[in-house]
């Protein structure tokens, strides 16, 4: 019976007692290592984790495997007879249009070696012996980076089909402005604050900024600041040292380190706790960070993007967001318009989602009546809601002619849900509408008055009358 490695305590490739769980689906790895004993043992351990491993002792054979097989990640020894790791990566870039990410393994770790392999295009550099759990984590991050890039490239190809010039889907004035701004900002290296309601596509804009920037070949990593507890958010962002807290059995790099010279998206930045805000401010000011439980400062080379659906100015006034951090993040702001602000893009968006589902010809069934229904809907879920509706169509429709019926039923049901139990008195309808606009503006009465098209004094008078 094989014994499996402990992910936290055992140096690779010594066997231990704890199973390391890898990807849910089988992923193919290439291991190029001239030490036969080490290669076979490591390959066996990786196979125990669910990976399919192709391994060889020579770089030339590794290149042949990549040319004939779909390899998700390549693990390459730096020092090998014949073709070494650096030469392997050079040949790989020449041979493959979309090469797999490369993790370089070496028993001769040094800062100079790390810099050298990073410049050569390696995803990461690991010194042997490396804890097996850390190696698996590194492999999974490399796979996620490759998958993210593939998704974005697929979306860009989809956009090229819908818009021959390769711009984002939509030809409305707000989208033309966004596309122009994105093109200018992508080439710069400044921090960007991406604003917009939930479901408008802020993360997509961030990925496009990365893909169209000089950093496109580096990792794109995203973290949701609202989805993690305070302590976990800090350790995920900055990393931690061994012994920093209970359960920290080995050093773990955070996103600032793993991104290398890539791009990091801090989604829902308004929800970041105050202590982490202070540490992030230092990162943006000095380009350095310290791991949790560590003393040594580390350099940060990644580009920082932030996204929010909140009014950060209102958060600053409340005292829940740092003003100095706001100005550091907001070197440039990109606003993603709500779908109701660009309803003329609805036909193109619906057609793109149908094409993605393999039914581009069904877009012809979007007749005038159906498009009017789409345009008349408020789209509180924005583009995400439209995409979900098109998925609903693909599930329920038996033929193209069912499309208008399903769309009509959905929109009419949403209207009934919105009206159920509500008062139809004009004063009550006005009060609810003002409250919704205020909530959307995070309580900012000046912004709400502008959106309502009334004077700020009129808004105050109306709110007073509702008390």
Tens digit of pLDDT for each residue in 127-173? Answer: 877 788 888 888 988 887 777 566 545 544 444 443 433 347 888 88
Q: Both tokens of residue 171?
A: 């030809």
Q: Both tokens of residue 62?
A: 């590794």
- CB of 447 closer than 8 Å to CB of 441: yes
- CB of 430 closer than 8 Å to CB of 444: no
Closest Cα to residue 129, out of 1, 30, 41? Answer: 41
Query: What is the rounded CA–CA span in Å between residue 309 and residue 352?
Result: 25
Write down how long the chain is: 467
Which pLDDT tens digit goes with each residue over 395-438?
A: 888 887 888 889 888 888 887 766 544 555 677 678 778 877 88
- CB of 411 closer than 8 Å to CB of 403: no
E strands, 50-163, are 52-56, 73-77, 102-106, 124-127
Residues 6+ apart with CB under 8 A from 339: 199, 200, 345, 346, 349, 379, 382, 383, 385, 386
Query: What is the rounded CA–CA span in Å between residue 169 and residue 348?
Result: 7
Q: Which long-range contacts (CB under 8 A, 24 or more apart) does 445-450 make?
A: 447/311
C-alpha pair distances (Å), 173 with each of 182, 194, 343: 14, 18, 11
Query: What is the rounded CA–CA span in Å between residue 103 and residue 221?
Result: 17
Query: What is the rounded CA–CA span in Å between residue 160 and residue 149?
Result: 16
Of the pLDDT bands very low, low, confident and very high (cuts 50, 70, 90), residue 452 is confident
Burial class (CB in 10 A: 0-12, 13-18, 19+), 277: middle
Question: Does residue 262 surpass a pLDDT of 90?
Answer: yes
Indicate the DSSP class of residue 270: G
Handedness of CA 440, 446, 449, 450 (dihedral sign): negative
Sorted by where each starts, the structural domains of the chain and their CATH numbers stand as: 28-144 (3.40.50.2300), 167-335 (3.40.50.300), 339-419 (1.10.8.60), 426-465 (1.10.10.60)
Query: What is the rounded CA–CA span in Å between residue 395 and residue 301?
Result: 45
Q: Which pTM does this prediction carry?
A: 0.56
Higher pLDDT, 176 or 357: 176
């Amino acid at each position: 019976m094989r014994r499996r490695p402990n992910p936290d305590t055992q140096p690779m490739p010594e066997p231990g007692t704890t199973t390391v769980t890898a990807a849910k689906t089988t992923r193919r790895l290439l291991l190029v290592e001239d030490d036969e004993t080490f290669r076979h043992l490591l390959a066996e351990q990786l196979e125990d984790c669910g990976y399919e491993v192709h391994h060889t002792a020579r770089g030339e054979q590794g290149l042949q495997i990549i040319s004939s097989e779909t390899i998700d990640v390549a693990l390459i020894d730096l020092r090998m007879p014949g073709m070494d790791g650096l030469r392997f990566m050079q040949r790989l870039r020449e041979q493959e249009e979309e090469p797999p990410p490369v993790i370089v393994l070496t028993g001769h770790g040094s800062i100079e070696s790390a810099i050298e392999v990073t410049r050569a295009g390696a995803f990461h550099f690991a010194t042997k012996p490396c804890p097996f759990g850390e190696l698996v984590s590194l492999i999974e991050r490399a796979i996620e980076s490759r998958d993210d890039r593939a998704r974005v490239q697929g979306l860009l190809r989809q956009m090229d089909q819908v818009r021959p010039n390769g711009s984002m889907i939509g030809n409305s004035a707000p989208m033309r402005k966004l596309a122009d701004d994105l093109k200018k900002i992508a080439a710069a290296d400044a921090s960007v604050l991406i604003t917009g309601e939930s479901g408008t596509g802020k993360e997509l804009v961030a990925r496009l900024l990365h893909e169209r920037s000089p950093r496109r070949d580096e990792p794109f990593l995203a973290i949701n600041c609202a989805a993690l507890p305070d302590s976990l958010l800090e350790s995920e962002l900055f990393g931690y040292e061994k012994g920093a807290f209970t359960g920290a059995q080995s050093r773990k790099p955070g996103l600032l380190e793993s991104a290398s010279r890539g791009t990091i998206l801090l989604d829902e930045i308004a929800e970041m706790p105050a202590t982490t805000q202070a540490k992030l401010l230092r990162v943006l000011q000095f380009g350095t960070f310290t791991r949790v439980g560590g003393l040594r400062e580390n350099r940060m080379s990644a580009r920082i993007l932030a996204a929010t659906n909140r009014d950060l100015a209102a958060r600053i006034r409340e005292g829940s967001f740092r003003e100095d951090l706001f100005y550091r993040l907001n070197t440039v702001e990109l606003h993603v318009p709500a779908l109701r602000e660009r309803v003329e893009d609805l036909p193109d968006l619906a057609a793109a989602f149908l094409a993605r589902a393999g039914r581009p010809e069904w877009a012809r069934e979007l007749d005038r009546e159906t498009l009017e229904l789409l345009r008349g809907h408020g789209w509180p879920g924005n583009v995400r809601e439209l995409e979900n509706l098109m998925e609903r169509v693909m599930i329920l429709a038996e033929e193209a002619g069912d499309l208008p019926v399903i769309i009509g039923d959905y929109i009419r049901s949403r209207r009934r849900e919105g009206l159920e139990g509500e008062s139809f008195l004009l004063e009550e309808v006005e009060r609810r509408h003002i409250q919704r606009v205020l909530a959307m503006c995070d309580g900012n009465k000046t912004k709400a008055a502008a959106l309502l098209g009334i004077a700020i004094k009129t808004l105050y008078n109306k709110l007073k009358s509702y008390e």
